[in-house]
């Protein structure tokens, strides 16, 4: 992690405060020496991380609603039957109904058509005795006789969590990491980076993760803010205290974050329950690209300024191309055909998951028990 001091209200030369437009452009009309000193002290564009606070409040309200919804359907806020959700949260069916990333609700999936019967939200039996169609499970008014098209599921999973433990872990990272990045970047650049990373994480996961597992979590977005710390360290290498040591710790932190996303599938009633590594990777990559564009970089020399602007100008089209290509691939082709090995980034092949074939979890739903959701730590 970066070694920031607590931000304080420092007056600029002449006692004048920067207006919002100046803050957004990050140039600041105060001496370069003062900007460098502020950088060393961790003082950014603003003191209060308004967006981070708002996101945390919104996600708190959503996790409460998840638990209430599960209690309405199963009689308990935490899914206890037919399996226990180890994250202390709702069932997979409830998460799908509330807006989890679930390809069968977003496009026509051959193995999970809209008419296929799956366990209802209120099912507590093993094997299941209450069935609903995929269309009923997806909710939000159904598909009106057309193909599934709930595109908003690239966005809504950012606000959903697999349970109380998952929620607390993500909010811990968001409160300490994302909040500081917002102070550094300003709310405008931060909110663009946060949602670009979160959405792209879901786009990447939607393309190559197992199609039968619903996925939720803000980790892609939080990984995007982690990527911004790399932009900061590399761009301001000489202004950081012991940058080599910081780089080593940040590299270890990144490896841990990736490792968490590749925890071997745990077996609960023979059903896989694993985080989505692809959301972590997608969020980090998009966070790097968008962070390069919006992070306020201090350039003392002309050479440094040219290099910075070269990366900025290259990052914009690359980010757009990644979004367009992968979104198009999700809707128009078989993602597994484009990358046959990508499914193994979020699944360790075993007999219980049909060796990571996309419909394995569906069989688990129908014949074994209710399955636990995929989540992003």
Catalytic machinery residues: 219, 280
What are the φ/ψ torsions at residue 372 (nearest 5 degrees)? -85, 155
What are the φ/ψ torsions at residue 297 (nearest 5 degrees)? -95, 130
Integer Cα distance of 88 and 77 in angstroms: 9
Residue with the two structure tokens 């198009």: 328
Question: CB-based burial of residue 353 (10 Å sphere; 0-12 exposed, 13-18 middle, 19+ buried)?
Answer: buried
What are the tokens at 323? Answer: 């979004």
> Parallel, antiparallel, or unpaired for β 271-273 and 215-216?
unpaired
> Parallel, antiparallel, or unpaired for β 131-133 and 271-273?
unpaired
C-alpha distances out from residue 264 to 4, 40, 187, 261, 290, Å: 35, 40, 37, 9, 31
């Amino acid at each position: 992690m970066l070694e920031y001091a607590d931000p304080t209200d420092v007056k600029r030369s002449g006692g004048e405060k920067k207006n919002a437009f100046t803050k957004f452009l990050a140039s600041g009309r105060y001496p370069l020496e003062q900007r460098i000193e502020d950088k060393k002290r961790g003082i950014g564009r603003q003191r209060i991380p308004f967006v981070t606070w708002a996101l945390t409040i919104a996600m708190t309200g959503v996790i409460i609603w998840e638990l209430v919804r599960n209690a309405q359907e199963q009689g308990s806020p935490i899914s206890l039957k037919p399996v226990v959700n180890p994250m202390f949260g709702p069932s997979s069916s409830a998460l799908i109904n509330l807006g989890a990333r679930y390809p069968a609700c977003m496009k026509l999936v051959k193995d999970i058509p809209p008419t296929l019967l799956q366990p209802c939200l209120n099912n507590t039996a093993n094997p299941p005795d209450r069935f609903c169609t995929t269309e009923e499970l997806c909710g939000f008014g159904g598909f009106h006789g057309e193909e599934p098209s709930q595109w908003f599921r690239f966005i809504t999973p950012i606000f959903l969590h697999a349970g109380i433990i998952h929620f607390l872990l993500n909010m811990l990272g968001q409160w300490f990491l994302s909040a500081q990045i917002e102070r550094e970047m300003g709310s405008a650049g931060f909110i663009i980076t946060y949602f670009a990373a979160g959405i792209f994480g879901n786009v990447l996961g939607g393309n190559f993760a197992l199609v039968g597992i619903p996925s939720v979590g803000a980790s892609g977005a939080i990984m995007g803010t982690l990527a911004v710390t790399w932009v900061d360290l590399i761009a301001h290498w000489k202004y950081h205290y012991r940058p080599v040591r910081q780089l080593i710790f940040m590299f270890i932190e990144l490896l841990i974050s990736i490792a968490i996303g590749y925890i071997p599938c745990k077996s609960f009633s023979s059903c896989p329950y694993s985080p989505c590594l692809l959301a972590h990777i997608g969020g980090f990559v998009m966070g790097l690209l968008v962070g390069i564009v919006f992070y306020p970089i201090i350039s003392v020399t002309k050479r440094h300024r040219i290099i910075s602007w070269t990366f900025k100008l290259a990052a914009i089209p690359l980010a757009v191309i990644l979004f367009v290509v992968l979104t198009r691939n999700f809707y128009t082709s078989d993602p597994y055909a484009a990358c046959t090995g990508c499914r193994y980034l979020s699944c360790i092949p075993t007999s219980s998951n049909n060796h990571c074939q996309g419909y394995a979890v569906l069989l688990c739903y129908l014949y074994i028990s209710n399955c636990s959701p995929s989540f992003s730590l």
